[in-house]
Structure 1
Amino acid sequence: MPTVSVPKPTNEQPSPQTTESLKATLVNQSSGVLTLVRSASALPWVQAPPSTINPGQSGTFISPGDFSNAANGYVMYATPNGETFSLEWAIPAVGKNNITWQTTSGLSAQESGSLDGWNVSAAWVIS
């Protein structure tokens, strides 16, 4: 289960104009459809997670935040065989970004993208 805790850039300071968000793209390279089991975002989704992601396809969601409300939430997807991928995040105005993902036996996930800053955009390839 990878867990990352990434400090904010030192050349920028948080302010009430700072927004926090996670734009996540999930790429399904498994042999089965990934079906959304559960999800939550502290603030209403800018773009909700897709209910299914077919093999060879990708799905994107955006979880917003603001200076007084960290972007945080979670998603969990499952294959028809019951294997799961879950992603949990917290992107506060002040403090480190905390992002955790895990898979059950039979799946793996690799992250790419930058996990620092206030507006994180990253992808996870699930196979």
Structure 2
Amino acid sequence: MPTVSVPKPTNEQPSPQTTESLKATLMNQTSGVLTLVKSASALTWVQPPPGTIAAGQSGQFTSPGDFSNAANGYVVYQATNGATFTLQWAIPSVGKNSITWQADGGLSAQESGSLDGWNVSAAWFIS
């Protein structure tokens, strides 16, 4: 299970104008549908995770935060064979970002993108 803890840039300081968010793209490289089985975001989703991601397609979601409330939450997707992909995140105003993903039951996942800063945008390729 990859766990990434990324410090904030040192040339920028948090402020009330700083926003925290995760914009995630999940690329389904399996031969079947990935179905959302659980999800949560500390604040109301800007863009909720899709209920299904068809084979060869991608799905996006955005979890917001603000200076007082870290962007944090999780999603769990299940493949047709029961295998799962789980992504959890916490992007606070101050301190390190924590992003963890796990693929079980024969799935694998690779991340692409920058996981530092306050507004994180990354993709996970699930196969």
TM-score w.r.t. the length of structure 1 is 0.99
Q: Give the partner amino acid of 2:64.
A: P
CA–CA distance in 2 between the matches of 1:26 and 1:80?
16
Given residue 126 of structure 2, which amino acid in structure 1 is its aligned partner?
Answer: I
| Paired amino acid for 2:122 | A
Decide whether the 8 Å contact of 2:39 with 2:76 is kept in 1. Answer: yes
Partner of 1:120, secondary structure, is: strand
Quote the Cα distance in structure 2 between the aligned partners of 1:105 and 1:34: 13
For residue 22 of structure 2, give the secondary structure of its aligned residue in structure 1.
Answer: strand
Task: Tell me, in whole angstroms, the C-alpha distance in 2 between the residues paired with 1:22 and 1:60.
Answer: 10
- Asked if the contact 2:46/2:62 (under 8 Å) is kept, the reply is yes
Identity across matched positions, percent? 82
Cross-structure match for 1:69: 69
Listed one character per residue, the Cα deviations across residues 65-119 of structure 1 (whole Å, up to 9, x for unaligned) are 0000000000000011100000000000000000000010210000000000000
Matched-pair contact (CA < 8 Å) for 2:82–2:105: no
Distance 1:68 1:125 in 2: 31
Is there any run of 5+ residues in structure 1 with no aligned partner, and where? none
Runs of 4 or more above 4 Å deviation: none
* Amino acid in structure 1 at the alignment position of 2:117: G
- Aligned match of 2:101: 101
Answering whether residue 67 of structure 2 is matched by residue 53 of structure 1, we say no
- Structure 2's unaligned 5+ residue stretches are none
What root-mean-square deviation, in Å, do the aligned CA atoms of Structure 1 and Structure 2 show? 0.4
TM-score normalized by structure 2?
0.99
Which amino acid letter does the alignment assign opposite residue 5 of structure 2? S
Partner of 1:90: helix, strand, or coil?
A: strand
Structure 2 residue 36 is the aligned partner of structure 1 residue 36:
yes
**1:81 equivalent in structure 2:** 81
1:90: which partner in 2? 90
Instruction: Please say if residues 36 and 78 of structure 2, whose CA atoms lie closer than 8 Å, have aligned partners that are also in contact.
Output: yes
